[in-house]
Every structure is written in C-alpha cells, then in structure tokens.
Amino acid sequence: MTDKNLLLAIFEDIDPAAHAVDALRGLGIHDEQVTVISGTPITEAMLGRKHQWSNVTRFSLGGAIIGFASGCFLAFATPNMYPIIVGGQPLVPVPPSIVVLFEMTMLVMLISTFLGVFLDSRYPSYTPKEYVPEISDGRIALLLDCPGDMEATITKAMTEAGAESVKRAEAQVI
C-alpha cells in the first residue's frame, strides 16, 4: 500500500457531509487534508470548519490608503504647485476637494480589491484540478488525503456518515 491515498467521498446532501467532516476530525484527519467540492457555495460554518482568512481586506485597505494619499496630492498639493488666484476664492476649495478625495479613495480601493481577489484565488492556475461529474448533479464531494494504513477505517467512517460512494480518486482525461 502507498503512504498516502487520495479518497473521494460523494454525499447527496450537506448534513451527511458535515457529519463526515466531524468523523474525519475524530480520526485525526486535519481540515487542510480535506477539500470540499461543490457546485454551490458552501461556507466553512456550514461544515463546522474554521474560517479561512484571505488577503483581500489587506489589499482593499492598502488601496484605500494609497487612493486617499493620491487624492490629497491632487486636491491640496496641485493647487499649491500651480496657484491660480481667483478673486475672493480660497486657493484650495473644500467642496471639490472632498469629491476628489472620495473618488480617488474609492477608485484605487476598487482596483486593489479586484487585484486582491484575482491574486488570492490563485488565478491563473497551471496545476491540474479535480473534477467530479456528480457535482454537476448537485452532489457534494470530499476529497481527502489520507494515510494508506487508515484507508479502510476512513472508508467505513464515510459510509456510516452517509456517503453514496467512497473510492480512490484517479486522474481522468476529459
């Protein structure tokens, strides 16, 4: 037997899949070793897994700070670099400056948020991905990396949790 096997357990509903994740934890399989494949979005809380953190908020905050700084430059530094004195008007008018600050903050924040989502999802991916045709029919699959000596125990636990099928995952040419 090999040191590690890639098992694929297919479930009809989310409740048996959640019970299977709990059973896997009881057997000592960590969340990093389990991949949930579904045609619909399933949050971590639905399966009782810990929250996955992303860097998108950091990208957004950084973009907002850069946008605010560039807005400050446009609103306050530019009129001081090229002063145009208009009778009775301040050199830096406040209402247009607020608009420029807001627009530059939002523009750079939205661009950096898009880039953050793009980079955090690891797109483009050049590694092969797992595809399970049953997922298109509304099933939920758990793809898990298990030690070879625990394959029978894990298969039994998945079947008891309500898995329709538990088999070794194989690369398929589509």
Do 61 and 47 have their domain in common?
Answer: no
Last residue of a domain, one of 84, 102, 120: 120
pLDDT tens-digit readout, 38-66: 888 777 777 777 777 788 999 999 999 99
Do 16 and 62 have their domain in common?
Answer: no
pLDDT tens-digit readout, 99-149: 999 999 999 999 999 999 988 887 777 776 666 777 778 888 888 888 778
Residue 79: cis peptide before it, omega within 30 degrees of 0: no
pLDDT at 171: 55
Do 70 and 114 have their domain in common?
Answer: yes
Do 69 and 112 have their domain in common?
Answer: yes
Do 46 and 67 have their domain in common?
Answer: no
Do 91 and 136 have their domain in common?
Answer: no
Q: Is 31 among the domain residues?
A: yes
Do 60 and 115 have their domain in common?
Answer: yes
Q: Is 164 among the domain residues?
A: yes
Do 63 and 104 have their domain in common?
Answer: yes
Strongest mean pLDDT among 22-26, 33-37, 81-85, 104-108: 104-108
What's the CATH number where 34 sits? 3.30.70.120
Q: Is 25 among the domain residues?
A: yes
Count of structural domains, the chain: 2
Average pLDDT of the residues in 30-37: 82
Do 113 and 79 have their domain in common?
Answer: yes
Do 64 and 101 have their domain in common?
Answer: yes
Do 64 and 150 have their domain in common?
Answer: no
Q: Are 165 and 23 in contact (CB under 8 A)?
A: no
Strongest mean pLDDT among 26-30, 78-82, 150-154: 78-82
Q: How far is CA 16 from CA 23, 67, 69, 76, 89, in A?
A: 10, 47, 51, 60, 70
Mean pLDDT over all residues of the chain?
84
What is the per-residue burial (b if ≥16 Cβ within 10 Å, else e) of 104-137?
bbeebbeebbeebeeeeeeeeeeeeeeebebbee
Q: Is 30 among the domain residues?
A: yes
- pTM surpassing 0.75? no
Q: Is 83 among the domain residues?
A: yes
Q: Is 151 among the domain residues?
A: yes
Q: Are 77 and 101 in contact (CB under 8 A)?
A: no
Please give the residue range of the domain that contains residue 75: 56-120
pLDDT at 106: 97
